[in-house]
Structure 1
Amino acid sequence: MAAARSLPYRWRVPMVGWVVSRIVSPLAHYDDRIRKNLALVCPDLPQAEVERLVRAVPDNVGRTLAEIYSGEEFLARVSDLPLEGPGVEALEHAHKENRPVIIAAGHFGNYDAWRGALNARGYRVGAIYRPMGNTLFNEHYVEAITTIAEPLFARDSDLRQMLRFLKSGGMVAFGFDQAFRRGAELEFFGQRAMTPISAAELALKLNAPLVPIYAIRQPDGLSFRILVEAPIPPSTAEEMTQALNDALEVQVRAHMDQWFWIHRRWK
């Protein structure tokens, strides 16, 4: 990444995408994982489309990594992006009323683009993150994502601080599209998948809106559209989380190359 940062931004982002797609992904067996996931949930997908996604998915992952490590240059590109969708009013109202918001975010597009856009508007937006297994990588990765917006809360270790932040009127983003040992066995792409329900549980506990949000990469590969969906209606934590899965699936089906199919979502 240090070498990549020596390049102009417009070259850096696609270059890192190419490296991850063409070199890292085959070596790390991401190619095999993408094919396996697609064979499970989209068995009728034409083989040509599968092979396109085998290259396009890690390209998006690499671009996302390059953007996150670009700090201020990345923020300059996303800070003025308009917020679109039926959930924008809910975010604005909660911000003005100093009420907590639970944001539901999948590993889709660039999940830090919307965070930078909200932060630039003066929204106090934090995020839960899962520490990487490699502590050396985790240290500089956390430093990089901290430049986008803060505070950040490590999963299972900073929960008290996160609760204080929410109760003071902050917004916190939760990821919900990776396999977790704890949670509920819900449906995603027609298959049962262990899904964390903590975001919905907390939204119910705090009487806070649960708002899905997406940063959709545009055809130029460098810009984004920020989509804020309407808050999930309160019900049970399981029903609300299933609604999150359903909403994310709609977006993934519309932009198949932008979801992180490299994850072991269905175990």
Structure 2
Amino acid sequence: MAQRETKTRGGWRDWMTDRVLRGLIASALALPPRPRLALMGGLVRRVLAPLAGYRSRAMENLAHVWPDLPEAERCRIADATAENAGRTMIENYDVPGLLARMKDAPLLGEGVAAIEAARAEGRPVLFVTGHFGNFEAPRAALVARGWRIGGLYRPMANPFFNAHYAANMHRLGDPVFEQGRRGTMGLLKHIRGGGMGVLLFDVYDSAGVPIDFLGQPAPTLTSAAEIAVKTGALFVPFFGIRRADGMNFDAVFETPVPHGDPAEMMREATRRLEARIQENPGQWFWIHRRWKWRRQARQRSREAARMAP
């Protein structure tokens, strides 16, 4: 087992991959912003996404939720997804640049007044969002204005890459916790003390509640809503919507979701994300294994077999 772990995590392949990625990131950051974004967006769209299977996975996901969508349109959305992913990655590695660009970006949406009032009162706020546009842009807009916004991050499987990825997460704002029981408890303590934090909820988790997402069941954790209810935190969906110029963003803060049953709160947050995806489908991360419908089918079969007489 130890030998197998060495080969899969922390071995020479991971080290080489990390060296290549570090070099690519450093080279891109040496360029001015506009050609940097064009380079990374084009590289992921034309090279990385097809080679790594990301494009085909996006096409499968699109066919799963929108089976009547013409293939040409699925191709367009899959390519836009890869372009946005490349731009987002390098944007989030240029923390000073992202903060500078978002400092004067207007805060939009009906939730702005609510979060400003909560800050003045010392009431905690828990922001929720999905892998849409650049999900760090609204947080950067607040941090650049002096707000302190914590969050959770999912560690990378490659430990060499994760070392600088995690450090970069801390550069945008603290406290930042690694996903897991300890990290969740740390974020809960921060929110309970009147702090603010961000959670992304659009990832598959077999322990989640089956909530329909774009018309298909997608297990979704209710922990974000549970934290909000336990701490009395305002529960606010926000979105960083990429503008047509490919560089700038609308930082939109929506009306807070009322407290209630955590599953219903997450259904409402899901509906808010669905509406954004319907408007700009190429800005959502279709590369994710969000539904894992084959695994869900196997799980349903096992459960049916256990319940059979």
Tell me, yes or no, whether TM beats 0.5: yes
Matched with 1:214 is 239
2:174 to 150, 165, 182: 150
Query: Could you give the per-residue CA deviations for residues 139-180 of structure 1, whole angstroms, max 9, x where no partner exists?
Result: 111222222222211111223332221122211111110101
Matched with 1:175 is 200
Task: State TM-score, norm by structure 2.
Answer: 0.84
1:3 to 23, 27, 38: 27
- Counterpart AA for 1:193: A
Aligned partners of 1:100 and 1:206 also within 8 Å: yes
Residues 1:245 and 2:267 are matched in the alignment: no
What runs of 5+ residues in structure 2 fail to find an aligned partner? 1-24, 293-309
Query: 3-state DSSP class of the match of 1:3?
Result: helix
Aligned partners of 1:98 and 1:168 also within 8 Å: no
Aligned-residue offset at 1:260: 0.3
Aligned-residue offset at 1:17: 0.7
| CA–CA distance in structure 2, aligned partners of residues 129 and 113 of structure 1 | 15
Map 1:121-200; keep pairs closer than 5 Å: 121-156=145-180, 157-200=182-225
Aligned partners of 2:188 and 2:227 also within 8 Å: no
- Counterpart AA for 1:100: P
| CA–CA distance in structure 2, aligned partners of residues 79 and 196 of structure 1 | 32
| CA–CA distance in structure 2, aligned partners of residues 256 and 212 of structure 1 | 18
Aligned partners of 2:45 and 2:83 also within 8 Å: yes
| CA–CA distance in structure 1, aligned partners of residues 192 and 231 of structure 2 | 8
The ranges of structure 1 where at least 4 consecutive aligned residues each deviate by more than 3 angstroms after the TM superposition are none
2:282 to 252, 257, 266: 257
| CA–CA distance in structure 2, aligned partners of residues 162 and 188 of structure 1 | 26
| CA–CA distance in structure 2, aligned partners of residues 234 and 167 of structure 1 | 16
| CA–CA distance in structure 2, aligned partners of residues 81 and 123 of structure 1 | 15
| CA–CA distance in structure 1, aligned partners of residues 239 and 283 of structure 2 | 11
| CA–CA distance in structure 2, aligned partners of residues 160 and 232 of structure 1 | 22
| CA–CA distance in structure 1, aligned partners of residues 29 and 145 of structure 2 | 27
Matched with 2:7 is none
Aligned partners of 1:99 and 1:167 also within 8 Å: no
Aligned-residue offset at 1:24: 0.5
What runs of 5+ residues in structure 1 fail to find an aligned partner? none
Aligned partners of 1:109 and 1:259 also within 8 Å: yes
Residues 1:114 and 2:158 are matched in the alignment: no
Task: State TM-score, norm by structure 1.
Answer: 0.97
Aligned partners of 1:57 and 1:258 also within 8 Å: yes
Q: With CA pairs under 8 Å and 6+ residues apart, which has the higher RCO, 1 or 2?
A: 1
| CA–CA distance in structure 2, aligned partners of residues 194 and 120 of structure 1 | 34
1:202 to 213, 216, 227: 227
Count of matched residue positions in the alignment of Structure 1 and Structure 2: 267
**Stretch deviating more after TM superposition (217-226 or 144-153):** 144-153
Query: 3-state DSSP class of the match of 1:122?
Result: coil
Aligned-residue offset at 1:51: 1.0
Greater CA radius of gyration, 1 or 2? 2
Query: 3-state DSSP class of the match of 2:198?
Result: strand
Aligned partners of 1:127 and 1:174 also within 8 Å: yes
Map 1:56-67; keep pairs closer than 5 Å: 56-67=80-91
**Stretch deviating more after TM superposition (137-146 or 245-254):** 137-146
| CA–CA distance in structure 1, aligned partners of residues 169 and 253 of structure 2 | 21
